[in-house]
A and B are shown apart, each in its own frame.
Chain A
Amino acid sequence: MEFNLKIWRQKNAKDKGHFETYHISGIEEDASFLEMLDILNEQLIREGADPVAVERGCQSSGPVSFDHDCREGICGACSLYIDGRAHGPDDHVTTCQLFMRHFKDGATITVEPWRSAAFPVIKDLVVDRGAFDKILQAGGFISVRTGSAQDANNILISHDKAEESMDAASCVGCGACVATCKNGSAMLFVAARVSSLAVLPQGRLEAKKRAKAMVAKMDELGFGNCTNTRACEMECPKGISVSHIARLNREFLKAKFSD
Chain B
Amino acid sequence: MADKLISKIPDGPLSEKWTKRKSEIHLVSPNNKRKLEIIVVGTGLGGASAAASLGELGYNVKVFCISDSPRRAHSIAAQGGINAAKNYQNDNDSVYRLFYDTIKGGDYRAREANVYRLAEVSNAIIDQCVAQGIPFAREYGGYLANRSFGGVQVSRTFYARGQTGQQLLLGAYAALNRQIAAGTVKSYPRHEMLDVVLIDGEAKGIIARNLANGRIERFGAHAVVIATGGYGNTYFLSTNAMNSNGSAAWQCYKKGAYFANPCFAQIHPTCIPVHGDQQCKLTLMSESLRNDGRIWVPKKKEDVEKLRKHEIKASQIPEEDRDYYLERRYPAFGNLVPRDVASRAAKERCDAGFGVNETGLAVYLDFKDAIERLGHQRVAERYGNLFEMYEKITASSPWEEPMMIYPAIHYTMGGIWVDYDLQTTVPGLFAIGEANFSDHGGNRLGASALMQGLADGYFILPITIGEYLHNKFSAPKTDTNREEFAIAEKAVQERIDRLFSIKGKETVDSLHKELGHIMWEYVGMAREEAGLKKAIVEIQALKKKFYENVCVPGTQFEFNQELEKALRLEDFFEIGELMARDALNRNESCGGHFRVESQTEEGEAKRDDKNFMYVAAWEYKGEGVEPELHKEPLNYEFIEVKTRNYKE
Contacts and interface: CB of A to CB of B under 8 A. Distances in A.
Does B bind A? yes
Interface of A: 11-12, 27-28, 30-31, 35, 38-39, 41-42, 45-46, 48-50, 62-63, 65, 67-77, 90, 93, 97, 99, 101, 122-123, 126, 128-130, 132-133, 136-153, 155-159, 161-163, 165-166, 169-170, 172-173, 196-197, 200, 202-203
B128 A149 contact: yes
23 contacts: A30-B276, A31-B278, A46-B505, A49-B504, A63-B562, A70-B241, A71-B283, A75-B74, A77-B68, A130-B68, A133-B70, A136-B173, A137-B181, A146-B458, A147-B459, A149-B127, A150-B131, A153-B88, A157-B135, A169-B167, A170-B163, A200-B133, A202-B132
Given A45-B507, A48-B551, A196-B133, 12 more contacts: A31-B276, A35-B281, A49-B551, A65-B559, A69-B241, A75-B73, A128-B212, A137-B180, A138-B181, A146-B458, A166-B160, A170-B163
B76 A70 contact: yes
The bracket for how many chain B residues form the interface is 35 or more
Contacts of A70: 72, 74, 76-77, 241-242
B177 A137 contact: yes
B510 interface: yes
A200 B161 CA distance: 17
A142 B133 contact: yes
Contacts of B284: 72
Nearest to B385: A170
A171 B559 CA distance: 27
Interface string B274-293: 01101111011000000000
A170 B56 CA distance: 27
B52 interface: yes
A49 B554 CA distance: 11
A35 B278 contact: yes
A49 B500 CA distance: 12
A28 B278 contact: yes
A141 B124 contact: no
Contacts of A41: 507
Contact of B124 (A42, A97, A128, A149): A149
Contacts of A129: 68-69
A28 B275 CA distance: 9
Main secondary structure of the interface of A (DSSP, over half): loop
B140 interface: yes
Contacts of B560: 65
Interface string B53-64: 100100000000
B69 A173 contact: yes
B139 interface: yes
A63 to B, nearest CB: 6
B128 to A, nearest CB: 5
Interface stretch (B389-397, B414-422, B533-541, B595-603): B389-397
B71 interface: yes
Interface stretch (B109-117, B141-149, B444-452): B141-149
Nearest to A93: B392
Contacts of B132: 141-142, 144, 202
Interface in B118-132: 124, 126-132
Given A130-B69, A147-B124, A42 B509 contact: yes
B68 A67 contact: yes
A82 B151 CA distance: 44
Nearest to A129: B68
Contacts of B70: 133
Contacts of B166: 74, 170, 172
A10 B134 CA distance: 39
B130 A152 contact: yes
A35 B53 CA distance: 38
B606 interface: no
Contacts of B88: 153
A45 B553 contact: yes
A93 B241 CA distance: 17
A145 B175 CA distance: 8
A153 B68 contact: no
| 5 A-B pairs with least C-beta separation | A156-B142, A149-B131, A141-B174, A165-B135, A149-B127
B558 interface: yes
A11 B280 CA distance: 26
A143 B178 contact: yes
A128 B67 CA distance: 11
Contacts of A165: 133, 135
Contacts of B142: 156-159
B137 interface: yes
B189 interface: yes
Interface string B446-486: 00000000000011001000000000000000000000000
Nearest to A165: B135
Given A49-B503, A49-B504, A99-B393, A35 B279 contact: yes
A42 B507 contact: yes
A210 to B, nearest CB: 11
A259 B458 CA distance: 36
A50 B549 CA distance: 12
B86 interface: yes
A142 B133 CA distance: 7
Contacts of B138: 157-159, 161-162
A165 to B, nearest CB: 4
A77 B127 contact: no
Contacts of A27: 278
Interface in B76-118: 76-77, 86, 88
B553 A75 contact: no
A126 B174 CA distance: 24
A65 B135 contact: no
A69 B240 CA distance: 9
Contacts of A45: 507, 551, 553, 562
Contact of A169 (B67, B131, B135, B503): B135
Interface in B265-281: 275-276, 278-281
Contact of A146 (B52, B67, B503): B52
B392 A97 contact: yes
B561 interface: yes
A146 B175 contact: yes
Contacts of B505: 46, 49-50
B127 A69 contact: no
Given A35-B280, A45-B551, A71 B139 contact: no
A158 B75 CA distance: 27
A188 B278 CA distance: 36
A153 B144 contact: yes
Contacts of B175: 141, 144, 146
Contacts of A173: 69, 71
Given A70-B76, A74-B166, A155 B241 contact: no
A163 B510 CA distance: 44
B127 A150 contact: yes
Contacts of A12: 558-559
A61 B126 CA distance: 50
Nearest to A148: B131
B413 interface: no
Contacts of A203: 133
A166 B137 CA distance: 9
A258 B178 CA distance: 24
A152 B140 CA distance: 16
B585 interface: no
Contacts of A197: 133
A202 B130 contact: yes
B15 interface: no
B367 interface: no
A68 B137 CA distance: 29
